[in-house]
């Protein structure tokens, strides 16, 4: 069994420097308090980033999403976007990193005076952690694809917990991930409250039918950066693309399927609930979109650090 986040092990990760609130620590000494809001309650937000050729692509989009999440949580980041960008690049430079790097940027509300949910008992400012690691996606995934399993746990309404916020509170997705793993699948396919396909537990889901690219309405999933980039690429290259409601049955009958994410880009899906998708091989649309996305990354990196 694989995973959309399967990666090649790199021994250099044993000595990475991790940034905690502007200070660098060897990974063995990088710790936060047991009173931290993120540890106690999952009270925080995060971003997954990549570094290619010395540049973090689409960084402004990630910053916008992070700030929108902070605003929704009424969390004062106490740092500007430019300052946080500088901190990200300073961390990469301190590690001598240039390429094939995955970065987890995490922000919690900060230290609590006591283990209690009320933000009023938070002491001081937020905790901001930057973990950069050398991570290359497993290259075999592109040929063997991934298989999905439709799980019972669903992406819920915004009045319960808005699935469009990239929060630390990921139990909904973790339940889905566990069920899919128990079923022998690589990732969970999750439905919305109405039974329409919403997303996967850690990636976004697309199908291809009769030359059209379909993805969910977006009402019950995070507006992923790569998801949006793929939609934009389709529009710019005269590929019909639709954000719409569709069923698992329509996914079973798709010509192709794939998932997207910052880590691995586009990864083909060959099986859903034991049904072979298309001919069980990477199809022409996936090939075309992978090439377009690679060109998009190159163009973004060509603009340099922003």
Q: What residues form DSSP beta bridges with 199?
A: 190
Q: How far is CA 63 from the centre of its chain?
A: 14
Residue-level pLDDT at 213:
98
Residue-level pLDDT at 105:
98
The pLDDT tens digits for 277-306 are 999 999 999 999 999 999 999 999 999 998
The pLDDT tens digits for 146-160 are 999 999 999 999 999
The pLDDT tens digits for 30-71 are 999 999 999 999 999 999 999 999 999 999 999 999 999 999
Residue-level pLDDT at 140:
86
Tell me the whole-structure pTM to 2 decimals: 0.95
What are 238's two structure tokens?
């005269």
Three-state helix/strand/coil letters over the chain:
CCCCCCEECCHHHHHCEEEECCEEEEHHHCCCCCCEHHHHHCCEEEEEEEEECCECCCHHHHHHHHHHHHHHCCCCCCCCHHHHHHHHHHHHHHCCCCCCEEEEEEEECCEECCCCCCHHHEECCCEEEEEEEECEECCCHHHHCEEEEECCCCCCCHHHHCCCCCECCCHHHHHHHHHHHHCCCCEEEEECCCCCEEEECCCEEEEEECCEEEECCCCCCCCCHHHHHHHHHHHHCCCCEEECCCCHHHHHCCCEEEEEECCCEEEEEEEECCEECCCCCCCHHHHHHHHHHHHHHHHHHHCCCC
Q: Position of tokens 């439905």?
A: 191
The pLDDT tens digits for 206-239 are 999 999 999 999 999 999 999 999 999 999 999 9
Give the β-pairing of 146-150 and 44-51.
Answer: unpaired
| Angle (nearest 5°) at CA 222 between 190 and 211 | 70
The pLDDT tens digits for 101-152 are 999 999 999 999 999 999 999 999 999 999 999 998 888 888 999 999 999 9
Q: What residues form DSSP beta bridges with 7?
A: 137
Q: Which residues lie closer than 8 Å to 8 by C-beta, 6 or more apart? A: 135, 136, 137, 138, 139
CA distances from 208 to 18, 52, 123, 257 (A): 40, 28, 50, 6
Residue-level pLDDT at 9:
87
Q: What is the mean pLDDT of the chain?
A: 96
């Amino acid at each position: 069994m694989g995973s959309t986040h399967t990666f090649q092990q790199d021994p250099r990760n044993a000595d990475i420097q991790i940034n905690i609130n502007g200070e660098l620590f060897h990974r063995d000494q990088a710790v936060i308090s047991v009173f931290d809001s993120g540890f106690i309650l999952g009270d925080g937000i995060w971003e997954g980033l990549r570094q290619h050729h010395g540049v973090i692509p689409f960084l402004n989009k990630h910053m916008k999403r992070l700030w929108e999440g902070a605003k929704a949580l009424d969390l004062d980041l106490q740092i500007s976007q430019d300052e946080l960008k500088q901190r990200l690049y300073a961390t990469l430079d301190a590690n001598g990193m240039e390429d094939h790097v995955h970065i987890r940027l995490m922000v919690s509300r900060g230290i609590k005076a006591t283990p209690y949910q009320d933000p009023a008992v938070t002491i001081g400012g937020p905790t901001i952690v930057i973990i950069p690691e050398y991570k290359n996606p497993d290259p075999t995934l592109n040929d063997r694809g991934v298989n999905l399993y439709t799980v019972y746990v669903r992406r819920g309404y915004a009045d319960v917990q808005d699935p469009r916020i990239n929060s630390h509170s990921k139990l909904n997705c973790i339940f889905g991930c566990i069920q899919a793993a128990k079923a022998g699948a690589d990732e969970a396919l999750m439905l919305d409250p109405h039974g329409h396909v919403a997303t996967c537990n850690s990636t976004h889901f697309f199908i291809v039918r009769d030359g059209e690219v379909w993805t969910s309405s977006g009402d019950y999933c995070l507006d992923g950066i790569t998801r949006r980039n793929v939609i934009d690429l389709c529009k710019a290259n005269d590929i019909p693309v639709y954000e719409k409601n569709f069923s698992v049955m329509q996914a079973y009958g798709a010509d192709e399927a794939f998932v997207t994410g910052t880590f691995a880009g586009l990864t083909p899906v060959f099986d859903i609930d034991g049904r072979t998708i298309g001919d069980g091989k990477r199809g022409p649309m996936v090939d075309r979109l992978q090439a377009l996305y690679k060109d998009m990354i190159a163009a973004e990196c060509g603009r340099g650090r922003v």
